[in-house]
Amino acid sequence: MARTYIVTGAGSGIGAATARLLREAGATVVGVDLKNSDISADLSTPAGRREGAAAALEAAGGRVDAAIASAGVSLPTALTVSVNYYGVTEFLAELRPALAQSTAPRAAVVGSMSSLQPNSPQLVEALLTSTEATAVEVADQLAADPQTGNLIYASTKRAISRWVRAQSVTPEWAGAGIPLNVVAPGIVVTPMTEQLLASPESTAFVDAVVPMPLNYHQPPESIANLLIWLTSPENTHCAGQTIYCDGGSDVVLRGEDAWSWADGRVGEYFQQLTAGQPAG
């Protein structure tokens, strides 16, 4: 039987490319978006998430094998909090029980290399530990100043990567056999980046903050293909990862040594072993 996918943001850009490639490969796809898709839903509101998930499940015949969350906005306002974070976490939570019924359930989220960029620790903390109303309040304060407003997007992407990492190993996800991961793009040529890439000056700014030595700006398909693999039955053991598919910007920004965080912890490691605790 063909696999069934629910894809948010399927009306444009990365979500649209993902839905198209999945359909071309024979899958059944139900797209969810504000516009241009199968199910119209506003993922910025709790009711929109709940009703959108219910309508998508109904359209999918009550069963779903994989969920892909691509809907997002990049505005320096609190709307970005509601769509990019809660529009993912709450929507996936609505679908999770149905996903758990699949024989090969999978979920993947579109994050961003912005998860590595400067952000507001206060907003990240509010997203991870507080209510939507509190996070929106923090974002409203940041939005009052254009400089801090620009931290909102990166904060939502840092928080969603951390949420996925935390959730991925819980009984609800790993315990139910559902790999949950993030793909983090660099600069993808979609309507979202059209304005940013409209002039040589703005393009030069973008290229300075998102250096992409491998093949430069990317087509939506470069992300879609990875989302499709992560949500395929072949992915049996990737859990909680944020996979930077970004032309190399992660490496340029963070350097080649992403491991030395453990170097000062040798004593702690042996202590754990002596105490019979699992090391890690």
Q: Which is nearer to ligand NAI, 35 or 237 (CB)?
A: 35
Spatial contact of 184 and 153, defined as CB atoms under 8 Å apart: no
- Is-catalytic flag, 5? no
250: CB partners within 8 A, 6+ apart:
113, 116, 184, 244
Shortest CB 85 distance to ligand NAI, Å: 10
For ligand NAI, the closer CB: 42 or 140: 42
3-state secondary structure 87-146: HHHHHHHHHHHHHCCCCCCEEEEECCHHHHCCCCHHHHHHHHHCCHHHHHHHHHHHHCCH
Contact 155, 76 (CB under 8 A): no
Closest to ligand NAI by CB, 115 vs 168, is 115
Q: Which of 102, 242 has the CB closer to ligand NAI? A: 242
Contacts of 269 (CB under 8 A, 6+ apart): 262, 279
**Contacts with ligand NAI, residue ranges (CB under 6 A):** 9, 11-15, 33-35, 41-44, 70-74, 83-84, 110, 112, 185, 187-188, 190-193
**250 SS3 class:** helix
Shortest Å, Cβ 234 to ligand NAI: 23
Minimum CB separation of residue 221 from ligand NAI in Å reads: 11
Candidate list 5, 85, 86, 153, residue with the active-site label: 153
Catalytic residues: 153
